[in-house]
Chains A and B, each alone.
Chain A
Amino acid sequence: MALRRREFLAGSALLLLSGSSSRSALLSDQLPWYPDAGSPPVPARPGPWLYFTADEARAVEALADRIIPADPQTPGGKDSDCAVFVDRQLAGHYGRDEGHYLRPPFMSGTKQQGPQSAKGPAQDYRDGLAALEKYCQAKYSGKRFPDLTADDQDTVLKGLESGEAKLDPTDGESFFKQVLKDIQAGFFADPLYGGNRDMVAWKMIGYPGARYNYLDWIERHNERYPLPPVGITGSPAWSQKT
């Protein structure tokens, strides 16, 4: 990105600060432009787990399936690839907490003051999943979370949600909150990020996706929008049927 931006700036009327290696540029005369402008998203690739260990991945898939259980019309969290989404996110800048303010001191404050952890989501998952496994093994005679019955899994999650089930040393309540947020985001995010496989979540609710023009429908009050969803990288309708 930095390189490309330099190229782009070099193509427009501007001066870089002399004697500095800075990206800071002086722009004047015309709106900068270069071919292939922009920084399009990089789609998540299928393939092995990038962040999770096999055990962690199995646990997150099981969590995803309880948070979003499969039903006859729509796949569950696992089959809609929510765990893949979380894995790719944790392997990227989200996992590393990039861009967040990470200077010390770290002190705990009120709920209104927001999270004050130094760790970042990737480490939170590593610690949280280990703590969850320890908790389940202790409570369910050595069984891991994915091996529990659905009812037992729900019991564990309800315990975490209410704060009654204590993980050690992780704060189970906030870990569960984070998992819930990420799995649901993976279910509804654009499929390019690895979740929401085949746009199943969008089809489930009737969301037509990454569109940019509803001029023909804004005044079709109380009528269902007719077109199927489209992702940023397209839809089956973009290719010729063979």
Chain B
Amino acid sequence: MRSIVVMMLAAVVPWLAATAPGLAASSDGQAFEQIQKGQYLATAADCFSCHAQREGGKPFAGGRPIETPFGNITAPNITPDNETGIGAWTDDQFVRAVREGVGRDDSRLYPAMPYTNYTKMSRDDVLAILAYLKTIQPVHNAMRSNTLPFPFNIRAAMRVWDSLYFTPGDFKPDPKQSTVWNRGAFLVEGPGHCAACHTPKNFLGGDKTDARLGGGKLQGWFAPDITGDTREGLGSWSEAEIATYLKTGHNGATAATGPMAEEVLNSTSKLNDADRMAMATYLKSLPSHSDQAAPTPAGRQVMAAGQAIYHDECSACHGLEGKGTAQLFPALAHSSIAQASDPTTAIRLVLRGARSVATKDEPTAPGMPSFGWQLNDAQVAAVLTYVGNTWNNAAVPVTAGQVKQARKSLSTRNE
């Protein structure tokens, strides 16, 4: 068994090395390759998005509060500043922090730092990231302490948490699957830490393992199911469409907004095409968790009101048949957001509007206006119920109460 693993790794490693094509090796070829690999993995791991202030912050200098259900956690400075960053850290200290969630002072990190995923990166991978981070400009930026309420402010409590929800250890390739699939699995489950958003959490913030990547709620959004489920997940997209989405933030069906816009911008758009295809291959292969009975059909009255609103307010962009316009206006027919078991994202988009991501390949960044001033709770519920149950879509009807609740919780958010 062990030898198979080694063989698999042998198949994967050259691929990693091939991630910086066209760059000549420097005189210190070893360090150069390691730094290149580290830079690429840091991108795949999207270190930047959390470890930099959103506006005007220096890269990796920390300071960004990460919102968790239990309070905000401030991402630390990971520039090589000796005093306030990781400049004085040893290799072991860094590897332990990234792969095991144990700080330099032996304290336990909060899993807002996705070490539960990063543990799948090998020691060499993590040292490559360190090698890269050591090449960036050191920034002197002392961090404030965290602000979680009791008992989560006791870091020792995290020891217990880890014992329940954290399985340390390298990524183990599945020998029954292709190299491509395994590469995708590594990226998705390891550095990509897709589960951090897309896997539902239990009341302690641990992954619900029976619903892996089946959609999770965070920061006032619902990160949709990204398994191969054909209704709520990615099942109706081809691998190429998934890869295009990861590259550009847009495809024939949808557009990235909210936290995913940032993820595309800082991470997946900067990966190489082969890696995006690998992620697509893996995601599409994931079995659906959806075992719900067909959603209850919505009432005729609600559907009639929803249809009128859709025709008058939505069809100018999303089309009379819900087909949208490829790469510009998301299609609502077959949309996973429209059919999601949790309508948080759909409600938010209608209430507040959204700006989709701009990338080099898709710079348009079309935006959706806010309808929150215009439609009342029942009308938002009606139009979403209509959209969720037309053009062969099927979804649980959205209620006015859900919209009311969303309005209330969104009122304190200004992002």
Please give the residue numbers on chain A whose beta carbons come within 8 Å of chain B beta carbons, in ascending order. Answer: 7, 11, 13, 30-31, 33-38, 40, 210-213, 215-216, 227, 230, 232-235, 237-241
By beta carbon, the residue of chain B nearest A12 is B55
Tell me whether B320 and A216 are in contact (CB under 8 A): yes
Taking A13-B55, A36-B352 as contacts, is the C-beta distance between A235 and B312 under 8 angstroms?
yes
B49 to chain A, nearest CB (A): 15
By beta carbon, the residue of chain B nearest A14 is B55
By beta carbon, the residue of chain A nearest B370 is A36
B316 contacts the other chain (CB 8 A): yes
Taking A30-B358, A36-B353 as contacts, is the C-beta distance between A212 and B370 under 8 angstroms?
no
Interface 1/0s, chain B 285-314, versus A by CB < 8 A? 000000000000001011011001101110
22 pairs, A vs B, C-beta closer than 8 Å: A7-B414, A11-B55, A31-B355, A31-B367, A33-B355, A33-B367, A35-B352, A40-B370, A40-B373, A212-B312, A212-B315, A215-B320, A216-B320, A234-B309, A234-B312, A235-B312, A237-B304, A237-B308, A238-B305, A238-B309, A240-B301, A240-B378
Complex formed: what's the CA distance from A37 to B374 in Å?
Answer: 13
Tell me whether A241 and B301 are in contact (CB under 8 A): yes
A40: B residues at CB distance < 8 A: 370, 373-374
A227: B residues at CB distance < 8 A: 311
User: Chain B at the A interface: mostly helix, strand, loop or mixed?
Assistant: mixed
B379: A residues at CB distance < 8 A: 234, 238-239
B28 contacts the other chain (CB 8 A): no
By beta carbon, the residue of chain A nearest B373 is A40
- Among A13, A36, A213, A235, which residue has its beta carbon within 8 angstroms of that of B315? A213
B344 to chain A, nearest CB (A): 14
B161 to chain A, nearest CB (A): 33
A28 to chain B, nearest CB (A): 12
B353: A residues at CB distance < 8 A: 35-38
By beta carbon, the residue of chain A nearest B301 is A240
Could you list 11 further interchain pairs (A-B, Cβ under 8 angstroms) beyond the known A38-B370, A227-B311, A240-B299?
A: A35-B352, A36-B353, A37-B367, A38-B353, A210-B312, A212-B313, A230-B308, A235-B312, A239-B305, A240-B301, A241-B304
Tell me whether A31 and B365 are in contact (CB under 8 A): yes
Complex formed: what's the CA distance from A215 to B316 in Å?
Answer: 9
By beta carbon, the residue of chain A nearest B315 is A213
Interface residues in B, total, Cβ within 8 A: 35
B372 contacts the other chain (CB 8 A): yes
A211: B residues at CB distance < 8 A: 312
Complex formed: what's the CA distance from A138 to B154 in Å?
Answer: 89
By beta carbon, the residue of chain A nearest B305 is A240
A35: B residues at CB distance < 8 A: 352-354, 370, 410, 413-415
B71 contacts the other chain (CB 8 A): no
- Among A31, A34, A213, which residue has its beta carbon within 8 angstroms of that of B311? A213
- Among A11, A212, A213, A234, which residue has its beta carbon within 8 angstroms of that of B374? A234
A11: B residues at CB distance < 8 A: 55, 414-415
B382 contacts the other chain (CB 8 A): yes
Tell me whether B372 and A36 are in contact (CB under 8 A): yes
Interface 1/0s, chain B 310-333, versus A by CB < 8 A? 011101100010000000000000
B401 contacts the other chain (CB 8 A): no
B175 contacts the other chain (CB 8 A): no
A174 to chain B, nearest CB (A): 38
A108 to chain B, nearest CB (A): 44
Complex formed: what's the CA distance from A230 to B320 in Å?
Answer: 17
Tell me whether B305 and A237 are in contact (CB under 8 A): yes
A212: B residues at CB distance < 8 A: 312-313, 315-316
B369 contacts the other chain (CB 8 A): yes
Complex formed: what's the CA distance from A7 to B302 in Å?
Answer: 36
B201 to chain A, nearest CB (A): 24
Interface 1/0s, chain B 403-415, versus A by CB < 8 A? 0000000100111
Complex formed: what's the CA distance from A40 to B316 in Å?
Answer: 18
A31: B residues at CB distance < 8 A: 355, 358, 365, 367
A235: B residues at CB distance < 8 A: 308, 312
By beta carbon, the residue of chain B nearest A42 is B373
